[in-house]
């Protein structure tokens, strides 16, 4: 890792934000942190009471919060970061939000000379801990180059897809892929279990072929045990599918499989399973008969 002289602030210490912040701290660039979670802080950084406070004097502000409203609040609320960010600084927004929200945030910050990159990630909590996240970036290339040393601490690969909003659109594509492939594994495991097949051997036989997927290789076993350790929280995936389905609707595109998986997830969340891993989709086939 190249040495990084940027001063970094961070907003959000959730399931992704905390390990990201810890890596930035370890690289000696993270100065100031704000989180809504009153019981969380990160040793070696200044705990800030407001987003504005976390943005004081930083070159790069990393934001990792839960949704559109949270991003807008921490940037533009009464104590929002935008009140302290200075011209030339860069907001790196790792939250997964609507592409249109990302574009609106970028426009508002541009009025103050502040750059905004949408930089949603894939790779989950494990990837965040390992610093191996895939970062999906939209925004000005010069701003990306300025923030790149920070992104390289966060992620193992940094992909630039064009203007602001493009990173979020690619994340939406990712979540559509996750939806169908996790659902396929859930249905296949449920069928094999109901038929009393030797499922460990079945997974081994099939994972090398056209039926193979990351979900089959990494989530089939937990489904077969009916235990769904995080991973990636279903409630967040369900929120992200909403973004993907809205993006599709905006271009008049019908995604029936994704819509169906979103409906299945909604049903499971109503039954209280939203805090489990996405692989808990498999529950649907046990509770129904």
Tell me which residues are annotated as active site: 171
Say whether 232 sits in a helix, a strand or coil: coil
- Compute the distance between CA of residue 94 and CA of residue 151 in angstroms, rounded to an integer: 10
Q: Per CB under 8 A, does 166 bind a second copy?
A: yes
C-beta of 49 vs 201, nearer to a second copy: 201
Q: Per CB under 8 A, does 101 bind a second copy?
A: no
**What are the strands of the beta sheet with 155-160, ordered from one edge?**
121-122, 133-137, 155-160
Q: Which of 191, 229, 271, 275 binds a second copy (CB under 8 A)?
A: 191
The answer to whether the CB of 106 falls within 8 A of the CB of 72 is: no
Q: Which of 72, 76, 161, 224 binds a second copy (CB under 8 A)?
A: 161
Check residue 281 and report its DSSP letter: G
Q: Per CB under 8 A, does 258 bind a second copy?
A: yes
- Compute the distance between CA of residue 54 and CA of residue 48 in angstroms, rounded to an integer: 5
133-137 vs 121-122, strand pairing mode? antiparallel
DSSP conformation letters of 26-67: HTT-EEEEE-S-TT---TTSEE-SSHHHHTTT-SEEEE--SS
Contact map string, positions 195 to 234, toward a second copy, x by CB under 8 A: x-xx--xx-xxx-xxxxxxxxx-x-------------x--
Q: Per CB under 8 A, does 285 bind a second copy?
A: yes
Contact map string, positions 45 to 84, toward a second copy, x by CB under 8 A: ----------------------------------------
Beta-sheet strands, E only, within 56-208: 60-63, 90-93, 115-118, 121-122, 133-137, 155-160
- What are the residues whose beta carbons fall under 8 Å from the beta carbon of 169, sequence distance 6 or more? 99, 138, 161, 247
Number of residues that bind a second copy (CB under 8 A): 68
Q: Please give the residues from 263 up to 282 whose contact with a second copy meets the rule CB under 8 A.
A: 264
Q: Which of 134, 222, 235, 266 binds a second copy (CB under 8 A)?
A: 134
Return residues touching a second copy (CB under 8 A).
Answer: 122-124, 127, 134, 136, 157, 159, 161-162, 166, 169-170, 172-181, 183-185, 187-188, 190-192, 194-195, 197-198, 201-202, 204-206, 208-216, 218, 232, 244, 247-248, 251-258, 260-261, 264, 285, 288-289
């Amino acid at each position: 890792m190249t040495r990084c002289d940027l001063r970094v602030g961070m907003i959000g210490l959730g399931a992704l934000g905390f390990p990201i912040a810890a890596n930035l701290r370890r690289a000696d660039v993270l100065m100031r942190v704000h989180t809504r979670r009153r019981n969380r802080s990160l040793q070696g950084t200044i705990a800030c009471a407001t987003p504005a406070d976390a943005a004081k004097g930083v070159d790069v502000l990393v934001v990792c919060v839960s949704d559109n409203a949270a991003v807008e609040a921490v940037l533009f609320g009464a104590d929002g970061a935008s009140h302290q960010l200075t011209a030339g600084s860069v907001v790196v927004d790792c939250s997964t939000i609507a592409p249109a929200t990302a574009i609106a945030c970028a426009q508002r910050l541009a009025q103050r000379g502040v750059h905004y990159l949408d930089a949603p990630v894939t790779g989950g909590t494990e990837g965040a801990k390992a610093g191996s996240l895939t970062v999906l970036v939209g925004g000005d290339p010069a701003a990306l180059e300025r923030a790149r040393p920070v992104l390289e601490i966060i992620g193992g690969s940094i992909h630039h897809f064009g203007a602001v909003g493009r990173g979020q659109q690619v994340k939406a594509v990712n979540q559509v892929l996750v939806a169908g492939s996790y659902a396929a594994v859930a249905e296949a495991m449920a069928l094999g279990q109901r038929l009393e097949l030797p499922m460990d051997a079945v997974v081994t036989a099939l994972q090398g072929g056209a039926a193979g997927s990351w979900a089959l290789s990494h989530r089939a076993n937990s489904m077969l045990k009916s235990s769904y350790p995080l991973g990636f929280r279903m409630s967040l995936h369900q929120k992200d599918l909403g973004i993907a389905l809205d993006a599709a609707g905006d271009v008049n595109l019908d995604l029936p499989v994704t819509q169906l998986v979103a409906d299945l997830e909604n049903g499971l969340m109503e039954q209280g399973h939203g805090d489990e891993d996405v692989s808990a989709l498999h529950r649907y086939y046990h509770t129904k008969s």
